[in-house]
Amino acid sequence: METVIPYDELELERLYQRLLHQQGNAFFCVTVNRVRSHAEIAERIRERFPLHEVQIINFMGKRNFRFSSAFLSSLIEEDARIVFLANFHLAGGDMPDDEFFQVLNLSRDVLAEWPVVLVFMMPMYFRIQLAQNTPDFNSFFQYRADFVIEEQDTHEPKLDTTDRYSETNRELLQYYEEKYNTLTNHESKQAFETLLNILKLNGSVRTLSSIELKRFYAAFCRLLPFYQNESSVSANDIATVYDDQGDYAQALEWYEKDLAICEKVLGKEHPNTAVTYNNIALVYTHQGDYAQALEWYEKALAIREKVLGKEHPSTATTYNNIALVYTHQGDYAQALEWYEKALAIDEKVLGKEHPDTATTYNNIAGVYDCQGDYAQALEWHEKALAIQETVLGKEHPNTAATYNNTAGVYRNQGDYKNALELYLKAYRICLRKLGDVHPNTNTTKNNMEIAYRDADMSEPFEQWFEKNFGDGTANYKLRGSL
């Protein structure tokens, strides 16, 4: 009898691959709501590594202790390279929650120096509490993988294999299973990359309605041993790299390859096809070809409104992107109209205290800033900050970005005192959380220097900066407008 596996298999595989190739220290976060699943998931990962390389520390059942980095260190075995902290929401032991969060926040730098990879496993509600109460510690998760491994509903209805994609899936499965039977090591990589492409286009196995693609995933797993030490990327990933590098011609070429797979395998009205339309539009936006960008966004929007609905977060994302194009074109009335559509979805579906809602507030503020309506711009930035400071924390890089944007409004107003204070605030956060070579850190300092020179200050910028950077206020005298 085939064993029913109660977890999202693709997320488990993704976590395994990240741990397999992880070089050096890292904090990974896995959210699992059912407490007894934590150790089971960790055990399944451990089975795939050499003996003693992976250790599982399960806080379920532990009593009479108080969490500290020294306590955790005493539990870790000498040979362990990867340590799973199962049911980490219970790791406070006898400590009150506020004390546990404080200790955890302060222990971040100590934990980061340990020669092990730490995998924190917790339910989603606790993940949110960490974001709210441990900004320093929580920041270590922000630029690494965050895995959500959900249990399947045991009452889930039987899969419908009569959907309109099943025939295509069946043909693909047959083709690649036949190809797998004749594989040599030389041929494996191409087949592996194609399998990865198809799986990425279809998202998570948990969401698929076709039993054929679940078998397709099994074929994919059989191929993994060929390339455990190689990295395989999809056409979409390659296109993204080219876009980031500013090589837009190459980015478009690879997105078109991705689109050909999407349209053939999934159809022209599948949500993942819409993702590729959206990515192509982004490239045209970066090129400044706004007419083409709008055309591709409209293709994506037509799919999302029809398939996902007019109140889906992905639909709101497209509204946001279209609004951004209109902002670039200087059509601020159209931009606000589309941002308002996005905001209506964000507030209704995600809530008025969600980070995505804060992003839309910031975007609206940007339009008002472009129009010269600084009072409105500041009002919308303050709404965004209220969410980010509460949900993400005052030390989060996204909060720093809003400080930077708000400072820009003050600078445009000629209020250089408030602008410089906020730039300093943003810069301190960026330096602590992102480091001195991160683009956001450098951009914030550059903006600060521009504001300083605009203010017609009485001493050189670097001299003023050294004097004022250390404390929490900007002690200086302005000449000119203030």
What is the domain extent for residue 175?
166-224
Q: How far is CA 288 from the centre of its chain?
A: 26
Please classify residue 125 by burial: count the beta carbons closer than 10 Å to its beta carbon, then call 0-12 exposed, 13-18 middle and 19+ buried.
Answer: exposed
Contacts of 32 (CB under 8 A, 6+ apart): 38, 41, 121, 122, 123, 149, 150, 151
Mean pLDDT within 208-221: 47
What total of structural domains would you count in the chain?
Answer: 3
pLDDT higher than 80, residue 1: no
CA dist 363 → 297, 380, 451 (Å): 18, 9, 22
The predicted pLDDT at position 481 comes to: 33
pLDDT higher than 90, residue 17: no
Last-in-domain residue among 85, 113, 148: 148
Write down the H helix ranges in 288-373. Answer: 290-303, 313-329, 332-345, 355-371
- Looking at the fold, whether 419 and 342 belong to one and the same domain comes out as yes
- Looking at the fold, whether 86 and 110 belong to one and the same domain comes out as yes
The predicted pLDDT at position 145 comes to: 39
Q: Could you give the percent of the chain with pLDDT greater than 90? A: 33
The predicted pLDDT at position 278 comes to: 92
The predicted pLDDT at position 205 comes to: 37
The angle formed by the CA atoms of residues 185, 217 and 252, to the nearest 5 degrees, is 80
If DSSP codes are grouped into helix, strand and coil, which group holds residue 80? coil
149 confidence band (pLDDT: 50, 70, 90): low
Question: Cβ atoms within 10 A of the Cβ of 464, count?
Answer: 20
- Looking at the fold, whether 41 and 174 belong to one and the same domain comes out as no
Rounded Cα distance between 5 and 125, Å, is 24
Position 184: which residue type? T
Rounded Cα distance between 467 and 479, Å, is 18
Query: Do the Cβ atoms of 177 and 194 come closer than 8 Å?
Result: no
- Looking at the fold, whether 390 and 455 belong to one and the same domain comes out as yes
pLDDT higher than 80, residue 168: no
SS (H, E, C) 177-225: HHHHHCCCHHHHHHHHHHHHHHHHHCCCHHHCCCHHHHHHHHHHHHHHH
Q: Which residue has the higher pLDDT, 289 or 236?
A: 289
Contacts of 420 (CB under 8 A, 6+ apart): 407, 448, 451, 452, 455, 474, 476
Give just the sign of the alpha carbon dihedral 142, 145, 151, 153: positive
Please classify residue 431 by burial: count the beta carbons closer than 10 Å to its beta carbon, then call 0-12 exposed, 13-18 middle and 19+ buried.
Answer: middle
User: Residue 186 domain-assigned?
Assistant: yes
Residue 82's DSSP bridge partners are 54, 117
- Looking at the fold, whether 62 and 90 belong to one and the same domain comes out as yes
396 confidence band (pLDDT: 50, 70, 90): confident
Mean pLDDT within 5-12: 56
pLDDT higher than 60, residue 135: yes
Q: Which residue has the higher pLDDT, 240 or 357?
A: 357
pLDDT higher than 60, residue 334: yes
pLDDT higher than 80, residue 320: yes
Last-in-domain residue among 148, 174, 191: 148
The predicted pLDDT at position 50 comes to: 84
User: Residue 475 domain-assigned?
Assistant: no
pLDDT higher than 90, residue 258: no
The predicted pLDDT at position 372 comes to: 94
Rounded Cα distance between 250 and 241, Å, is 10
Domain of residue 95, CATH code? 3.40.50
Rounded Cα distance between 379 and 292, Å, is 33
Last-in-domain residue among 224, 252, 269: 224
Q: Which residue has the higher pLDDT, 46 or 143?
A: 46
Please classify residue 401 by burial: count the beta carbons closer than 10 Å to its beta carbon, then call 0-12 exposed, 13-18 middle and 19+ buried.
Answer: buried
User: Residue 339 domain-assigned?
Assistant: yes
Please classify residue 460 by burial: count the beta carbons closer than 10 Å to its beta carbon, then call 0-12 exposed, 13-18 middle and 19+ buried.
Answer: exposed
303 confidence band (pLDDT: 50, 70, 90): very high
Rounded Cα distance between 121 and 459, Å, is 52
User: Residue 367 domain-assigned?
Assistant: yes
pLDDT in tens, 361-383: 999 999 999 999 999 999 999 99
Rounded Cα distance between 213 and 226, Å, is 21
The predicted pLDDT at position 391 comes to: 83
Question: Cβ atoms within 10 A of the Cβ of 133, count?
Answer: 17
Residue 56's DSSP bridge partners are 84
Q: What's the token pair of residue 424? A: 């300093």
The predicted pLDDT at position 93 comes to: 86
Rounded Cα distance between 175 and 216, Å, is 10
pLDDT in tens, 58-104: 998 787 888 998 999 999 998 899 999 999 999 988 888 889 999 99
Query: Do the Cβ atoms of 137 and 130 come closer than 8 Å?
Result: yes
- Looking at the fold, whether 113 and 217 belong to one and the same domain comes out as no
Domain of residue 313, CATH code? 1.25.40.10
- Looking at the fold, whether 354 and 464 belong to one and the same domain comes out as yes
pLDDT higher than 70, residue 172: no
Counting every residue written for the chain, the total comes to: 482
203 confidence band (pLDDT: 50, 70, 90): very low
- Looking at the fold, whether 17 and 93 belong to one and the same domain comes out as yes
290 confidence band (pLDDT: 50, 70, 90): very high
Mean pLDDT within 323-339: 95
